[in-house]
């Protein structure tokens, strides 16, 4: 391959841009502070759910959720929004049965004060595992 | 050899962009437009923009590849933006990237850089053409 000054200069510039973008993103991410206990995971999960904060919710996962999990969550949200006739139904989350320290589980019971969702209740047992230094959500199973 | 390496690099970048767009449109269980608007509505405009770009990237890269004989800059720009979107996404959510994902990303970076370097004429060829 013959010398190609312009191509190599541009390739070098691309590497620098990518390193800066990836580095800055990673530094911002690291400054957020990961949860290190089941209780912290439960608190952050409720905060993320109440704010419908996608970023914060994904941060709590150990691995990428399966397609079935994503479809299940999507249909659950759709159903609640349709029943309540609003995109942002008023939902309450009650955490209980927090077990373990860095690893363990907690239960969360979801109810709503929306008139059309009255009487409906969802309950999940959330499994928390350790991934390096952080505690994260490994699985969630319905208790109903 | 330059043309073969460049062609291979472009094919790998296009294939990777199709794989990423395919996983976003078919693999998530959510329609692409719905995914982008949902992310935008729930406080993630940057992620919505990244998702929208990654879904559109194969078409843009294909057009840029077709224009390459006229000018290399659309290919360089589209490839840079594609790599940038992927880099920010994996740096933001590193825990969602499996080990083989990092290996594939490194291979993609090498292929993309080869396609960029070979997109421009070699110095000697340039000198002869002047």
Q: Is the pLDDT of residue B104 over 80?
A: yes
pTM of this prediction?
Answer: 0.76
Is residue A58 within 8 A of residue A89, CB to CB? The reply is no
Residues in chain A, pLDDT under 50: 1
Q: CB–CB of B42 and A54 under 8 A?
A: yes
Domain boundaries, chain A: 1-32, 34-142
Q: Where are the alpha helices (DSSP H) in chain A?
A: 5-30, 38-51, 54-59, 67-84
Partners of residue B88 in chain A, C-beta under 8 Å: 21-22, 25
Distances, alpha carbon A44 to alpha carbons A40, A128, B13, in Å: 6, 13, 38
Q: Is the pLDDT of residue B57 over 70?
A: yes
A7, A49, A54: best to mutate for the B interface, most B CBs within 10 A = A7
> Residue A38, exposed/middle/buried by CB under 10 A (0-12, 13-18, 19+)?
buried
Question: Is this complex's ipTM strictly greater than 0.85?
Answer: no
pLDDT in tens, B68-90: 889 999 999 999 999 999 999 88
Q: Is the pLDDT of residue B30 over 60?
A: yes
User: Class of the A34-142 domain?
Assistant: alpha beta
Q: Is the pLDDT of residue B129 over 50?
A: no
Q: Is the pLDDT of residue B12 over 70?
A: yes
Read off the pLDDT of each residue in B1-29 and give the average, rounded to a whole number: 85
Q: How far is A15 from chain B (nearest CA, A)?
A: 9
Partners of residue B92 in chain A, C-beta under 8 Å: 25, 29
Sign for the CA dihedral angle at A125, A130, A131, A136 comes to positive
Q: Which residues contact A115 (CB under 8 A, 6 or more apart)?
A: none
Q: How far is B9 from chain A (nearest CA, A)?
A: 13
> Is A76 within 8 Å of chain B by CB?
no
């Amino acid at each position: 391959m013959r010398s190609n000054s312009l191509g190599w200069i541009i390739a070098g510039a691309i590497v620098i841009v990518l390193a800066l973008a990836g580095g800055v993103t990673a530094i911002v991410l690291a400054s957020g502070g990961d949860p290190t206990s089941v209780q912290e995971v439960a608190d952050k999960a409720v905060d993320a759910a109440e704010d419908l904060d996608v970023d914060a919710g994904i941060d709590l996962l150990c691995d990428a959720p399966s397609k079935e999990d994503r479809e299940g969550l999507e249909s659950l949200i759709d159903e609640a929004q349709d029943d309540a006739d609003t995109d942002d139904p008023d939902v309450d989350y009650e955490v209980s049965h927090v077990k373990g320290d860095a690893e363990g589980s907690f239960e969360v019971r979801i109810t709503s004060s929306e008139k059309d969702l009255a009487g409906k209740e969802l309950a999940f047992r959330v499994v928390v595992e350790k991934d390096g230094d952080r505690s994260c959500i490994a699985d969630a199973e319905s208790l109903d | 050899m330059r043309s073969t390496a460049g062609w291979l690099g472009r094919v790998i970048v296009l294939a990777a962009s199709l794989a990423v767009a395919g996983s976003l449109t078919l693999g998530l269980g959510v329609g692409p437009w719905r995914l982008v608007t949902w992310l935008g509505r729930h406080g993630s405009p940057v992620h919505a923009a990244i998702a929208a770009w990654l879904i559109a990237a194969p078409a843009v890269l294909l057009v840029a590849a077709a224009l390459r004989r006229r000018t290399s800059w659309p290919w360089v720009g589209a490839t840079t933006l594609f790599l940038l979107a992927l880099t920010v996404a994996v740096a933001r959510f590193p825990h969602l990237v499996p080990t083989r994902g990092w290996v594939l990303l490194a291979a993609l970076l090498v292929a993309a850089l080869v396609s960029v370097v070979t997109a421009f004429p070699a110095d000697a060829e340039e000198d002869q053409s002047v």
